[in-house]
Structure 1
Amino acid sequence: MRAVKPWILGLTGGIGSGKSAAAQRFAELGIQLVDADQAARWVVEPGRPALLRIVERYGADILQPGGELDRAALRARIFESPEERKWLEALLHPLIRREIWGFLESANSPYAILVSPLLVESGQYRQVDRVLVVDVPQALQLQRAIARDGVPAAQVQAILAAQMQRDERLRHADDVLANDRDLAWLNGQVERLHEFYLGLRGGKA
């Protein structure tokens, strides 16, 4: 039985900020983490109850030939109707929360990390002990996201416009990792934060 329950760090940042690279370095240092986007995919995997409920409501054409959820088809259905979006959120959000917190509560690293692009927008920041924001200037976000995803600038700009404003995200931060240099710099900053975090109890200095 664990003597000390790990405290929870919320890790967030806008598109192209480098939060996934930061999370990977934390994991390499032995810190257990869960990605909110990944948890959202887990709950609708083939054989899971949520997928069965979705098929009951929308029919088998909501599935790909291999039995996986056709996310594009589902998005088309729910964006046509606010009522359908509410139904889907009511089904999935409690399951996603259960996946996330079940994992975090069973973690056995000194602290554990919830990686969530919508940590602040969703209110998840209230459930963590400390918030780390990976931050970059918007022009660099745009450049990185276009290079990574191979999408038009207008599409990335639309995502940036839909996400929380940078200043508002930073307002909720306990720690800020400025990721405006290369990967070696980012990894060094993560390592510095990791050493600091190891000295904290309950996420508090």
Structure 2
Amino acid sequence: MNSTQAQQTSGTSTHRARDGGVDLGTTEDTPTLMLVFEAIRQISDAGGEPTRERIVAMTGLKPTTVDDRIKVLRGEGMISPHKQCYRPLHQHVAAQAVSCTAMPNGVYKIEKGDEVMTLVPAEARQLAPMLAGKALEASALERVQEMETRMIEMAQQLREVDRRYRALKAVKLDGGAQQPLALTF
């Protein structure tokens, strides 16, 4: 490796600084550095935003471990140097327009930019399961993003209800006398 020297011995790896000195990680039973990078790459390739929470959920690693590995990946120049941006620096070339046309004679024309590929039905059947996985992955990622947005909204609502409850409880404890309740939603 160029700036991080990973020494592989019997399934463990140690990550060191560019100068070969200071240890930036720990000796690991599994290569957590590559687990974190793969999670970032997969989330990014699927069109998602690789957040710390998603990386933790995808890898099953502790948040502190993920933070340490992100520091190493940044130092390696493998991900963006900007805080809170965990995008791989070496990404694929820009996507071109892609289309698939079912022809009347049963063949399929796959077009990507100026390239055209003709698939007979047997070839299309071989390709379909491979692409179906990508379609399911994109759909699942979209649902996860929708759920995260909804969860954030619900958490904000819960905090507001809790704040109002505490305020009403404080009024009840302080006043002793009945005061009209004003609840607004």
Fold match (TM-score > 0.5): no
Q: When you count helix as a share of all residues, which structure comes out higher?
A: 1
Structure 1 length normalisation: TM-score? 0.24
Structure 2 length normalisation: TM-score? 0.26
Structure number, greater radius of gyration: 2
